[in-house]
Amino acid sequence: MGFLCRDCLSVEPPENGTKCPACGSVRTAAHEELHALGIAHLDCDAFYATVEKRDNPSLKNRPVLVGGAGGRGVVTAACYVARRYGCRSAMPMFRARQLCPQAVVIPPDMAKYARVGRDVRALMLETTPLVEPISVDEAFLDLSGTERLHRGSPARTLARLARRIESEIGIDASIGLSHNKFLAKIASDAGKPRGFFVVGRAETQTFLADRPVSALWGAGRELCRRLEGDGFRRMGDLLACSEEFLVDRYGAIGSRLWRFARGEDGRRVDPVSHRKSVSAETTFSRDLAAPEELKARLWPLCEKVAARAKADGIAGAMVVLKLKGADFRIRTRRRTLPHPTQLAERLWRAGAVLLTLEADGTRFRLIGIGLSGLCPAAEADPPDLAEPDGERIKAVETAMDTLRARFGDTAISRGRRLTPSPRRPGR
């Protein structure tokens, strides 16, 4: 039986019980295949809320909700204290506040989370170059074959990584360890918070059988509804079906369902980013129809998307505008730029043209903008003879970015961020 103490990293198993014989800690892991598994999924716990608690220790034991505070705000992260009251992420904020009126609501500071996320990723990359980020706070790691390099099994290296994230960055993370990505992802979720959950080859089938089909990678709300309607509630229910049947019934994803239900996943941990787009969106506190008001909401989103693209060293050639009407119907409109860009100004110019075409008096509840057709930043915004202003736009934005880096994100913006006041038309 493999043994690991997550506090002192000792692998000396106790004679009986589960306490670490070296340090007496109860945070230990024991599993037949513990030291033989190499694919991990690392996920920070209640990431945004944890970062806020780290930066304001007085919040430590209080329920914290990160998200929009307005009438239609949505919880983006709920700390584990708030979760005890039933608050969950993606829940409407008003509902979360009903459940937990004493909760501290903090508007999200995406730039800060991105910075912390980068710190976490830097520690991962010190462990292995085979890091496949999925979002700002989670990633797959492949530590197979690193035993000699790190003088210990992947499990021990991961426990050390989690310990470093806690001590050096000040946030908690959960780790799922298994023999493929799909299982590692489910495992990290199973052990939360501060978890360390192992799924070995031997118990793969039994571990999965009782999991809901919603845990299947790629199964969204619509597919889950269909699966459940067809009587497939647990992954074990899918085992009785042939692959052909699932493909016939659900299309190409059927074959993936068939393999995942058996705990098979041949995908490798791929450190190259396969991200297809960068985007940002916001839901208004009341429906908006006036082009000027919509545009004022669009600009900060352009700045947000551009900041993310710049931070990640990517650029995109296609601008996608998303609008959700008061009737919840979603419109997306896209426009390809002559060159890939990572500048907020170029995003805004294209986005504003698309928006002008759509702002026909329809009332909207949400606006979003994104970049797709991604490429490395080196290809972004080349000098262009047909755009004499291009270099100036770039210089202005670079200057604004420099100011923000020194004095904070709110140090400078453009006047178009401001909405014309309807009450004082004369001023």
Partner 1 sequence: MKMTIERGALLRSLTHAQSVVERRNTIPILANVLISAQNGAVELTATDMDLAVVERVAAEVSQAGSTTVSAHTLFDIVRKLEDGAQIEIGVGAEEGQLVLRCGRSNLKLATLASEDFPVMSDDDMPHSFLVSAASLRSLIDRTRFAISTEETRYYLNGIYLHAAEGEGGKVLRAVATDGHRLARMEVPLPDGADGMPGVIVPRKTVNELRKLIDEAEGDVAVTLSDTKIRFGVEDIVLTSKLIDGTFPDYDRVIPLGNDKVLEVNRKPFERAVDLVSTISTEKSRAIKLSLNDGLLVLSATSPDAGSATEELEVDYSDGELEIGFNSRYLLDITQQILGDSAQFALADAASPTLVRDSSDASALYVLMPMRV
* 376 is a contact residue toward partner 1 (CB under 8 A): no
Write the single-letter amino acid at 113. Answer: Y
Q: Which residues of 16-43 are buried (b: 16+ CB within 10 A; e: fewer)?
A: eeeebeeeeeebbbebebbbebbbbbbb
Query: In whole angstroms, what separates CA 159 from the centre of its chain?
Result: 22
Q: Active site residue: 33, 52, 138, 397, which one?
A: 138
Least spacing, CB of residue 315 vs partner 1, in Å: 15
Q: Nearer to partner 1 by C-beta: 226 or 334?
A: 334
Query: CB count, 10 Å around CB of 307?
Result: 20
Least spacing, CB of residue 410 vs partner 1, in Å: 33
Would you give the DSSP letter of residue 421? P
Q: Nearer to partner 1 by C-beta: 266 or 388?
A: 388
Report how far residue 371's alpha carbon sits from residue 300's, in angstroms, rounded to the nearest whole number. Answer: 15
Nearest to 298 by CA among 336, 329, 333: 333
The residue within the footprint of partner 1, chosen from 336, 356, 398, 402 (CB under 8 A), is: 336
Give 150's strand partners.
none
* 337 is a contact residue toward partner 1 (CB under 8 A): yes
Q: Which two tokens stand for residue 235?
A: 């992954």
Q: Nearer to partner 1 by C-beta: 72 or 335?
A: 335
Q: Nearer to partner 1 by C-beta: 218 or 382?
A: 382
* 321 is a contact residue toward partner 1 (CB under 8 A): no
Sheet with 364-376, edge to edge strand ranges: 277-288, 364-376, 314-325, 330-341
* 177 is a contact residue toward partner 1 (CB under 8 A): no
Nearest to 86 by CA among 96, 71, 72: 96
The residue within the footprint of partner 1, chosen from 382, 402, 405, 408 (CB under 8 A), is: 382
Nearest to 412 by CA among 402, 422, 421, 420: 402
Scanning 15-23, 134-142, 197-205, 381-389 for contacts with partner 1 by CB under 8 A, the matching segment is: 381-389
Least spacing, CB of residue 348 vs partner 1, in Å: 15
Query: CB count, 10 Å around CB of 190?
Result: 16
Scanning 255-263, 357-365, 377-385, 416-424 for contacts with partner 1 by CB under 8 A, the matching segment is: 377-385
* 338 is a contact residue toward partner 1 (CB under 8 A): yes
Least spacing, CB of residue 333 vs partner 1, in Å: 13
Least spacing, CB of residue 313 vs partner 1, in Å: 17
Radius of gyration of the chain (CA): 24
Question: How many residues of this chain interact with partner 1, rule: CB under 8 A?
Answer: 12
The residue within the footprint of partner 1, chosen from 16, 361, 385, 424 (CB under 8 A), is: 385
Least spacing, CB of residue 387 vs partner 1, in Å: 6
* 425 is a contact residue toward partner 1 (CB under 8 A): no
Q: Nearer to partner 1 by C-beta: 24 or 313?
A: 313
Q: Could you give phi then psi for residue 324, rounded to 5 degrees?
A: -115, 125
Scanning 150-158, 190-198, 277-285, 329-337 for contacts with partner 1 by CB under 8 A, the matching segment is: 329-337
> Is 138 labeled as catalytic in the residue annotation?
yes
Q: Which residues contact 195 (CB under 8 A, 6 or more apart)?
A: 174, 175, 176, 188
Beta strand 104-106 pairing with 64-67: parallel
CA dihedral 324→325→329→333, nearest 10 degrees, is -50
* 1 is a contact residue toward partner 1 (CB under 8 A): no
Least spacing, CB of residue 335 vs partner 1, in Å: 6
Q: CB-side exposure of 193: number of CA atoms within 13 Å?
A: 15
* 61 is a contact residue toward partner 1 (CB under 8 A): no
Scanning 35-43, 111-119, 299-307, 385-393 for contacts with partner 1 by CB under 8 A, the matching segment is: 385-393
Scanning 134-142, 199-207, 276-284, 380-388 for contacts with partner 1 by CB under 8 A, the matching segment is: 380-388
Q: Which residues are catalytic?
A: 138
Chain residues in the site for partner 1 (CB under 8 A): 335-339, 382-388
